[in-house]
Amino acid sequence: MSTLPWDDVITVAPDDAEKYLALQRSAAFARLRSRSRRYLVSMTALFLGMFAITVALAGWMPESLAVSVFGHVNLGMLFAVGLIVLPVIITAVHLFYAGRRLDPLAERIREEFERNRR
């Protein structure tokens, strides 16, 4: 007997299990996962790329980050602020993208699944 915490919570009737597997193999579900994965990978690459550039510049070319942009603000400060602001921008873009591209498709998939499940 398994001791996983969710073993007692998730129970699927044998006839429902095949319906869930069919849903997982459906073209609409594959499209939803593809859209979600494409967004996730691209935004992760964007943030990690900016982070890597910041670390590389700080490690190998620190004088480039010391270049004054205006007043007492230098390029390093702008990169640091960018690393703080970028996740907020990514979150806002995600909310917009999910609301227009992911949620409607997920809702259609759920409605169709519930209709076929009865």
Give tens-digit pLDDT for 43-75: 999 999 999 999 999 999 999 999 999 999 999
Closest of 96, 71, 60, 65 to residue 83, by C-alpha: 65
Domain span holding position 38: 28-117
**Domain-embedded: residue 12:** no
Domain count, the chain: 1
Domain contains 38: yes
Phi, psi torsion values for 70, nearest 5 degrees: -160, 140
For residue range 72-116, what is the model confidence (pLDDT) as tens digits? Answer: 999 999 999 999 999 999 999 999 999 999 999 999 999 988 887
Q: Is residue 1 part of a domain?
A: no
In a domain, 65, yes or no: yes
Query: Does residue 21 belong to any structural domain of this protein?
Result: no
This prediction has a pTM of 0.74
- The pair of three-digit structure tokens given for residue 60, joined into one six-digit string: 């190998």
Model pLDDT, residue 5: 60
Asked whether residue 20 is assigned to any structural domain, the reply reads no
- 17 located within any domain: no
pLDDT in the model for residue 31 = 94
Q: What is the 3-state secondary structure (H, E, C) of 21-83?
A: HHHHHCHHHHHHHHHHHHHHHHHHHHHHHHHHHHHHHHHHCHHHHCCEEECCEEHHHHHHHHH
